[in-house]
Amino acid sequence: MSTCEESDARAALKRSVMTRVPPLLNDLYQFSMAYAYWRADRHREPAVFELFFRDNPFGGGFSLFAGLNDCLVFLKNFAFSDQDVEYLRSVLPANTDPDFFSYLKELDCSSVSVSAVPEGSVVFARVPLLEVSGPLAVVQLLETSLLCLVNYASLVCSNAARFRLAAGPRCRLIEMGLRRAQGPDGGLTASRYTFVGGFDLTSNALAGRLYGIPVAGTMAHSYVTSFSSLAEVWPKTLTPSGGGSGIDFISLVKGRLSAVCQLLGSKAELIREGELAAFMSFAIAYPHNFLPVIDSYSVSCSGLVCFCAVALALCDLKYQPLGVRLDSGDLCRQSLEVRRVFKECSKQFSVPQFESLIIVGTNSISEQSLAELNKKDNEIDVIGVGTHLVTCTRQPSLGCVYKLIEVRGRPRMKFSEDPEKSTLPGRKSVYRLLDTDGHPQMDLICLSEEPVPTAGVSLNCYPLVTETSLQSITPAQVTSLRLDVFTCGQIMYPISSASESREQAQNSLQMLLPRHKKLQEPHNYTVAVSERLNSLVSDIRRGNSKDNNFLLLN
Amino acid sequence: MSTCEESDARAALKRSVMTRVPPLLNDLYQFSMAYAYWRADRHREPAVFELFFRDNPFGGGFSLFAGLNDCLVFLKNFAFSDQDVEYLRSVLPANTDPDFFSYLKELDCSSVSVSAVPEGSVVFARVPLLEVSGPLAVVQLLETSLLCLVNYASLVCSNAARFRLAAGPRCRLIEMGLRRAQGPDGGLTASRYTFVGGFDLTSNALAGRLYGIPVAGTMAHSYVTSFSSLAEVWPKTLTPSGGGSGIDFISLVKGRLSAVCQLLGSKAELIREGELAAFMSFAIAYPHNFLPVIDSYSVSCSGLVCFCAVALALCDLKYQPLGVRLDSGDLCRQSLEVRRVFKECSKQFSVPQFESLIIVGTNSISEQSLAELNKKDNEIDVIGVGTHLVTCTRQPSLGCVYKLIEVRGRPRMKFSEDPEKSTLPGRKSVYRLLDTDGHPQMDLICLSEEPVPTAGVSLNCYPLVTETSLQSITPAQVTSLRLDVFTCGQIMYPISSASESREQAQNSLQMLLPRHKKLQEPHNYTVAVSERLNSLVSDIRRGNSKDNNFLLLN
């Protein structure tokens, strides 16, 4: 993108994120721990955390990673205000050392570094997506905000990718979930990351302005029902597209309506006058952009008939009507009926443009209903999705976690009462092993001091989750999955625009083999650990490591 | 509340909401419609919209209404910036009349009025919660923002109320969902409205600062796993609560540990040195607030043993330890085991305060698991809930809608292809009919011109949803459900603090009969329409009304 666009994108990001993520938007226990570290003079000890999720969402075979831009801007601007610190003073125990609050006032992320998977990458469960290193107290304080910024962004982005797969490549997808999101910023985040995940448009005007996402939208039922009579149509004339004097639009439409009724066998007495008036008025306001919602009363008895009459009148004046929206009932069946009528009109009235009118469908679309719809015959060109997309009904949380893996160069590990809640200790490198065609074959997690795997050379590893037995693989190509994105307080990675992130996500998805992208019962993608990492885990479990040792009472 | 508190609360609300809800955070089609109204010179026509939801969430019998404060502040501050308008100019069709953008620049809500159910009230499906009246174009433009502000707030508040009911009154509830919410503001909204719904505490520090919600939190597993050796404990001494010189805390704990191991038959060689060090260090930092998480390795083999040793050492120095947190495994079983050990210690070491140590449980708690837990024997005093609370897993959207009911004094109605998507036309009054004890019995929706129902006088009505037959009821008391909260641009209703809203919600819930509060298969609460409203609907459906008439082609 151009420098100007880049600075615009950055400014937009900064503006939106800075007001949204003050570092006090944090779990109190992070401050409790930070003080305990400070009190024990451990706050400056070098520590490393990892961010990952434990299962691919929606029963799927993959996820998309998103939220990195927000994380970087958050880290760059991390600082407590005096009011924040005074508030913390009021809620931490009274005997907390006052010097701790002076320490908080001076905190920033200038000693923090992050390596991360690029925004918009296909990722898998248990792969560390972010590695955050820096002073123990500071990196601890970052946990909640980083999780908050990655969790929903990645979840809704992955959900959008599944809707995209369910819809097939032909259908255009509009996100329109603002009113059903978790408040204003939930809605903004949803618009941004569903676009990254593969949606084409949003109804959210602010998302359009801030992130450059194409916006769309014509009318709601309220517009239609606000009209009751043709007397409300004003102005009553419309100038032809090529210019000239205004034509009496009402008479023109009425003439067309009689012809349409005759063609379709419609009963004029079942046509709602208000609906016809609404369509006329909208056509006069938007002669180049006529796309009304046609089910406020009855599609076949009134809405569709009125549309055809008004659209034909527009054609008479050399305007090109756009299409219709269906917002209730059986969308497939109705779209077939609507297309049939468009084709009849096209033939009868010699308006070939009627064949390619757009049919938009919006009616509580879920991933499942979209997949079913896509299997049936239908004539829907554009689908609008709200609630199920932005709330991620099937699984409304990704469950990312942020776990300590190293302190002062020593690997750390959590066991817990639930084995699946255990963590992988030590600082790591993550490699994506590709086949000869560049398709991802396996993600391999190694200790960072291990040599980089070599293309064409066999290596042994232990797949996570699925099996525990040793497996051998010879990668055709080896890529490093993470990049250094933030180094000692500086952003080292270009803040990408929404459309750049979208391109990255779609390319990344394109390279993933179809068997991993199946919406139902996908083939498991292998995530494995190196032999050395596997040994370290075993050693620590057995208490054989000097770093998670058992107590020797003396 | 005091004036000072009130102005603080207002300031906090304004600060948070004003930055969150610019009026451009809106569906584009609202602007498309606004222009079409403006173009037809209908934008100033008096119009009325209603906001309601169609089904009580979570299969329940009630909901809580929340988000009103945010709506009022949003309305008060409604104005487009020059950049907003320039953006709109760039996305609306090129031939849009430029005067429309001048009109947008001057828009505000000074001609808008709202009547609403008070914040925190128990409400039911299909009852109009907000009635918004004003110039057609303006009230149309408010739709998305009002829905966005009410939908999630009411949903998460209702969800919290259900968790409260599932937990029973004894157990204290902490909200800790920030990291799993729909981004930063989703998290903030969740903290605020789960408190209103009946939670006692939040982990979210910013929610504490902005809304005065009590905050809580001690330590995560990362704190425990960051320690590997007793050498990391610093300072190594602790001054007794009553004062005096520092005591060697490590030796004191070690002595207590031997005694605890002997009492419990624990094997010293299974105790994690890092866990013991973490607890000691935390106790030294927070001698009055010691409440560690005890399942980083193994509760029975290490965590509980270490806790008892450190807590006994604190008691030796006349400090009162607080308790423990369990974050994995079977919480009921473990809490019983932990309580048993506390009682044994209390007896063996003569520390009666051990009997009343707090046990906190946190492990992916859902409404269902909470209800099950509450049925079993357990010793849990405090429950922390995150993901399932804030994402409302069971039903992540309330589905509020905003429908046009009147234009220029004429009732408007939408039919649609789905009968349940139909709306109730006309401007209305809503009454809550109470029994002699003040328990809500029925919500009655009348046309606003109808007389107020009289206590003790029988009236006829048509229940919605459940039946359609005429029903007769004699209310003992009649209350008006909605208040005038915003009149011609002015807020007429005190912006309530979170704790005031919480009190209102808990009082409102208290008055609701238990049969409507059952979490499973609740008894339906009746919402009915007056005979006159029922007649109006029938007339419009049949096309007998002059206000939704069929077309008479001439």
Are A235 and B415 inside 8 Å of each other by CB?
no
What is the spatial distance between Cα A195 and Cα B110, in angstroms, rounded to a whole number? 36
Q: Are residues A182 and A312 in the same domain?
A: yes
Helix/strand/coil for A443: strand
Are A178 and B148 inside 8 Å of each other by CB?
yes
Give the 3-state DSSP-derived string for A40-59, with helices as H, strands as E and coil as C: CCCCCCEEEEEEECCCCHHH
For the record, the structure tokens of B268 come out as: 């010293």
- Chain B residues near residue A223 by CB distance under 8 angstroms: 33, 36-37, 140
B307 falls within a domain: yes
User: Per-residue pLDDT for A421 more than 80?
Assistant: no
Are B235 and A33 inside 8 Å of each other by CB?
no
Work out the angle at residue A384's Cα, subtended by the Cα atoms of residues A380 and A386, and round it to the nearest 5 degrees.
150
B415: confidence class by pLDDT, cuts 50, 70, 90 = confident
For the record, the structure tokens of A205 come out as: 């005007």
Q: What is the ipTM of this complex?
A: 0.93
Average pLDDT over residues B323-327: 97
Rounded (10°) CA dihedral B281, B283, B284, B289 = 140
A185 falls within a domain: yes
* Nearest in space to A47 (alpha carbons), one of A116, A141, A147, A144: A141
Contact criterion met (CB below 8 Å) for A112 and A138: yes
Q: What is the pLDDT of residue A102?
A: 98
Residue B506 CA to its chain's centroid (Å): 12
User: Per-residue pLDDT for A549 more than 80?
Assistant: no
Q: What is the pLDDT of residue B414?
A: 80
A140 falls within a domain: yes
Lowest mean per-residue pLDDT among A197-201, B12-16, B177-181: B12-16
Average pLDDT over residues A355-375: 95
Helix/strand/coil for B333: helix
Q: What is the pLDDT of residue B508?
A: 98
Q: Are residues B381 and B505 in the same domain?
A: no
In Å, how far is A372's CA from the nearest CA of chain B?
Answer: 20
Facing B147 at nearest CB: one of A179, A297, A399: A179
In Å, how far is B118's CA from the nearest CA of chain A?
Answer: 19
Average pLDDT over residues B303-316: 98
Domain end, chosen from B390, B414, B440, is at B390
User: Per-residue pLDDT for A466 more than 70?
Assistant: no
pLDDT in tens, B63-91: 999 999 999 999 999 999 999 999 999 99
In chain B, the number of structural domains is 2
Are B296 and A225 inside 8 Å of each other by CB?
no
Are B186 and A190 inside 8 Å of each other by CB?
no
Q: What is the pLDDT of residue B5?
A: 47
Are B417 and A334 inside 8 Å of each other by CB?
yes
Q: What is the pLDDT of residue B446?
A: 98
- Chain A residues near residue B32 by CB distance under 8 angstroms: 217-219, 286, 289
Residue B408 CA to its chain's centroid (Å): 37
A553 falls within a domain: no
Q: What is the pLDDT of residue A550?
A: 66
Lowest mean per-residue pLDDT among A34-48, A467-481, B320-334, B374-388: A467-481
A548: confidence class by pLDDT, cuts 50, 70, 90 = low
Alpha-helical (H) ranges within A56-182 are: 68-76, 82-91, 99-105, 136-141, 143-167
Mutation site, A191, A226, A286, A388, interface B, largest B CB count within 10 A: A226
Strand ranges for B61-137 from DSSP E: 63-64, 113-116, 122-123, 130-135
Q: Are residues A88 and A117 in the same domain?
A: yes
Contact criterion met (CB below 8 Å) for A301 and A261: no
User: Per-residue pLDDT for B519 more than 60?
Assistant: yes
Nearest residue on chain A to B20, judged by CA atoms?
A184
Contact criterion met (CB below 8 Å) for B538 and B426: no
In Å, how far is B479's CA from the nearest CA of chain A?
Answer: 30
A403: confidence class by pLDDT, cuts 50, 70, 90 = very high
Q: What is the pLDDT of residue B552?
A: 56
Q: What is the pLDDT of residue A14?
A: 41
What DSSP element (H or E) covers B210? helix B205-211
**φ, ψ for residue A479, nearest 5 deg:** -125, 150
Average pLDDT over residues A123-151: 97
A547 falls within a domain: no
B241: confidence class by pLDDT, cuts 50, 70, 90 = very high
A432: confidence class by pLDDT, cuts 50, 70, 90 = very high
User: Per-residue pLDDT for A9 more than 70?
Assistant: no
A186: confidence class by pLDDT, cuts 50, 70, 90 = confident
A550 falls within a domain: no
**Residue A450 is part of which domain span?**
3-161+395-541
In Å, how far is B180's CA from the nearest CA of chain A?
Answer: 6
pLDDT in tens, A263-278: 999 998 999 999 999 9
Average pLDDT over residues B14-29: 71
What is the spatial distance between Cα B158 and Cα B396, in angstroms, rounded to a whole number? 12
- Chain B residues near residue A25 by CB distance under 8 angstroms: 178, 184, 187-188, 204-206
Average pLDDT over residues A67-71: 94
pLDDT in tens, B255-305: 999 999 999 999 989 999 999 999 999 999 999 999 999 999 999 999 999
A1: confidence class by pLDDT, cuts 50, 70, 90 = very low
Q: Are residues A253 and A374 in the same domain?
A: yes
Contacts of B428 (CB under 8 A, 6+ apart): B50, B128, B131, B405, B445, B446, B447, B448, B533
Are A219 and B415 inside 8 Å of each other by CB?
no
Q: Are residues A257 and A241 in the same domain?
A: yes
Are A183 and B258 inside 8 Å of each other by CB?
no
User: Per-residue pLDDT for A16 more than 50?
Assistant: no
Q: Are residues B314 and B258 in the same domain?
A: yes
* Nearest in space to B28 (alpha carbons), one of A249, A201, A50: A201
Q: Are residues B151 and B63 in the same domain?
A: yes
Q: What is the pLDDT of residue B3?
A: 41
Domain end, chosen from A356, A390, A424, is at A390
- Chain B residues near residue A26 by CB distance under 8 angstroms: 178, 204-206
Q: Are residues A196 and A309 in the same domain?
A: yes
Mutation site, A185, A254, A297, A328, interface B, largest B CB count within 10 A: A185
In Å, how far is A222's CA from the nearest CA of chain B?
Answer: 5
Mutation site, B68, B550, B554, interface A, largest A CB count within 10 A: B550
Whole-number percent of chain B with pLDDT over 70:
94
Q: Are residues A224 and A277 in the same domain?
A: yes
Contact criterion met (CB below 8 Å) for B153 and B193: yes
Nearest residue on chain A to B279, judged by CA atoms?
A36
A543: confidence class by pLDDT, cuts 50, 70, 90 = confident
B551: confidence class by pLDDT, cuts 50, 70, 90 = low
User: Per-residue pLDDT for B12 more than 60?
Assistant: no
Nearest residue on chain A to B217, judged by CA atoms?
A29
Q: Are residues B300 and B321 in the same domain?
A: yes
What is the spatial distance between Cα A522 and Cα A449, in angstroms, rounded to a whole number? 34
Contact criterion met (CB below 8 Å) for A69 and A10: no
Q: What is the pLDDT of residue B1?
A: 37
Contacts of B58 (CB under 8 A, 6+ apart): B158, B159, B162, B367, B392, B394, B395, B519
Q: Are residues A330 and A199 in the same domain?
A: yes
CB pairs under 8 A between A and B: 445
B463 falls within a domain: no
B147 falls within a domain: yes
Domain end, chosen from A363, A390, A417, is at A390
Q: Are residues A146 and A250 in the same domain?
A: no
- Chain B residues near residue A254 by CB distance under 8 angstroms: 553
Nearest residue on chain A to B17, judged by CA atoms?
A184
In Å, how far is A477's CA from the nearest CA of chain B?
Answer: 36
The helix/strand count (H/E) of chain B reads as 19, 22
Are B29 and A327 inside 8 Å of each other by CB?
no
Residue A194 belongs to domain with CATH number: 3.20.20.70
B468: confidence class by pLDDT, cuts 50, 70, 90 = low
The residue type of A377 is D
Q: What is the mean pLDDT of chain A?
A: 92
